[in-house]
Amino acid sequence: MAYLTFKDLTTAPLATKAAKLNESIKAYYSTDTKVFLSYRRKDREYVEGVVKLLKQIGVTVYVDYLDETLEDRNSKDVATTLRERIGACSKFITLATPDSGNSKWMPWELGLGDRIVNYTNVAVLPLTANEYHWSDQEYGKIYSRIERNGLNVASADDWNVIYPDNTKMPLRQWLR
């Protein structure tokens, strides 16, 4: 098994620009499988490749920086909106980078995801410099993680969800 790397997201084909990550909030509410993607703002440059990978499976991915309703709002209003967006999702993925531990919002979002969508529908997607090493944080052993089992980074069929007991399920199946 291997982890997603920074290099994977800066080389083709995941690095190619997607037309739009979130077509609109309206489209977000109209598909069956919705994924809330939690990430640290500092890691925003890597979000597009992750969304592209997930969209290949046919899911809608909520990315907060594309949500125009969050602009110019105070933290209390943002928190209320994020609760609503997480509640509208059936899956929750947190993009875990070496900088994630410094985020103020990610642990809060992860706790909400655990409670609202149920911890069995929460997964950590490690993003590392070395595809075979992840210095996981405490929640890395609590939640499922997403790992690559093949060579084709861009193929959604080469990814699995690994449960804390080390059983696995294809990512495509988990996202149904």
pLDDT digit string, tens, across residues 90-142: 999 999 998 888 898 999 999 999 999 999 999 999 999 998 888 876 777 78
Report the C-alpha gap between 96 and 105 in whole angstroms.
13
The CA angle 118-120-121, to the nearest 5 degrees, is 70
144-148 vs 159-162, strand pairing mode: antiparallel
Domain encompassing residue 66:
4-174
Report the C-alpha gap between 27 and 115 in whole angstroms.
25
Report the C-alpha gap between 171 and 34 in whole angstroms.
14
- Number of structural domains in the chain: 1
Kindly report the CATH number assigned to the domain that includes residue 32. 3.40.50.11530
- pTM to 2 decimal places: 0.85
Q: What is the pLDDT of residue 175?
A: 93
